[in-house]
């Protein structure tokens, strides 16, 4: 378990210090709607523990990494995304990671092109 970072906006959302529209939570995970949605459904699924990216989470808490995918399955079902959805971990500056508390983007509700820009 990695300690909360008081300077981290997503640690503060998990702690309830910053409001967010929660859609799901478990002992190890938390999910909320993105402030700037890029699709009709745009949810961020995060571990309660602070890790900077997906690789660090998988190395430090592999079970929690798997729990993110369990949460995504449940959220996608609850959001009615039977036609499909996209799961994305932006990792590092070139991939447009802006918040360095690992987060899975769950995007759905519209057709999406490939490759992404
Ligand atoms: P990244 O670019 O790091 O992959 O994604 C960060 C995401 O966090 C962005 O889509 C951005 O809109 C979202 N975000 C940043 N700050 C907040 C916030 O305070 N609340 C919520 N709900 N989303 C946020
Ligand atoms: Zn954090």
| Within a domain: 15 | yes
| Within a domain: 117 | no
Confidence of residue 117 (pLDDT cuts 50, 70, 90): confident
- Model confidence at 2: pLDDT above 90: no
| Within a domain: 3 | no
**CB < 8 Å & 24+ apart, contacts of 91-99:** 91/53, 91/54, 91/55, 92/53, 97/53, 99/8, 99/9, 99/10
- Model confidence at 1: pLDDT above 80: no
| Within a domain: 115 | no
Question: How many domains, in total, are found in the chain?
Answer: 1
Q: Which residues face 30 on adjacent strands? A: 25, 46
Distance 34 CA to ligand 1 centre (A): 6
| Within a domain: 41 | yes
**Which of 30, 43, 44, 117 to mutate for ligand 1's pocket (most ligand atoms within 8 Å of CB)?**
44
20 lines ligand 1 (CB under 6 A): yes
32 lines ligand 1 (CB under 6 A): yes
| Within a domain: 66 | yes
pLDDT in tens, 18-70: 999 999 999 999 999 999 999 999 999 999 999 999 999 999 999 999 999 99
We report the CATH number of the domain holding residue 77 as 3.30.428.10
| Within a domain: 4 | no
| Within a domain: 113 | no
Ligand minimally distant from the alpha carbon of residue 19 = 1
Q: For ligand 1, atom 12, which residue shows the shortest CA distance? A: 36
pTM for the whole structure: 0.98
The residue segments making up the domain with residue 78 are 9-108
37 lines ligand 1 (CB under 6 A): no
């Amino acid at each position: 378990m990695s300690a909360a970072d008081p300077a981290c906006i997503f640690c503060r959302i998990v702690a309830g210090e910053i409001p967010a529209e929660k859609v799901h939570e478990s002992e190890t995970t938390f999910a909320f709607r993105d402030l700037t949605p890029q699709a009709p459904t745009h949810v961020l699924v995060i571990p309660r523990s602070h890790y900077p990216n997906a690789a660090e989470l998988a190395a430090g808490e592999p079970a929690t990494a798997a729990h993110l995918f369990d949460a995504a399955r449940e959220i996608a079902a609850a959001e009615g995304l039977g036609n499909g959805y996209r799961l994305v971990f932006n990792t590092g500056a070139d991939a447009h990671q802006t918040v360095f508390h690992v987060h899975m983007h769950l995007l759905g509700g519209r057709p999406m092109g490939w490759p992404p820009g």
